[in-house]
Structure 1
Amino acid sequence: MTQEQDDPNWSAAWQWVQREHDRDSFDAAARAEMTAWLLADPLHRKAYDKAARLWLLAGLVPPTASSE
């Protein structure tokens, strides 16, 4: 396991990033819950920012071409 996987802040941050991009279930209540989590500890924000950057970078990676 990597250091991030062992870190509960990282795990929670990654889950928040994933949830945030699920437009069907991420409503105002979820946003308020995430905001409360972010404000509860500066380490939460740091982990969230790192997870959000990873999400963005992963989206910029082009899919591999299938070899037919």
Structure 2
Amino acid sequence: MTQEQDDPIWSAAWQWVQREHDRENFDAAARAEMTAWLIADPLHRKAYDKAARLWLLAGLVPPSASE
């Protein structure tokens, strides 16, 4: 496992990024819950921003030729 996978803040941030992109189930209540989590600790925002960048970069990577 990587250090990030062992980090509960990173895990929560990654889950928030994934949930946020699930448009059908990410409603106003979920957004309020995520916002509360983000403002609870500066480390939460830092981890979330990193996870969001990773999500964006992964979306920009073209699929491999074998797919």
TM-score with structure 1 setting the length: 0.95
Number of residues of Structure 1 aligned to a counterpart in Structure 2: 67
Q: 1:15-68, CA deviations, whole angstroms, 9 ceiling, x for partnerless residues?
A: 000000000100000000000000000000000000000000000000012x59
**Which has more radius of gyration?**
1
Aligned partner of residue 25 in structure 1, secondary structure: coil
What percentage of aligned pairs have identical amino acids? 93
Find the aligned partners of 2:64 and 2:25 in 1 and give their Cα distance: 30
Partner residue, 1:25: 25
Gaps of 5+ in 2: none
Aligned partner of residue 23 in structure 1, secondary structure: coil
Q: RMSD between aligned alpha carbons?
A: 1.3
Aligned partner of residue 36 in structure 2, secondary structure: helix
Aligned partner of residue 50 in structure 2, secondary structure: helix
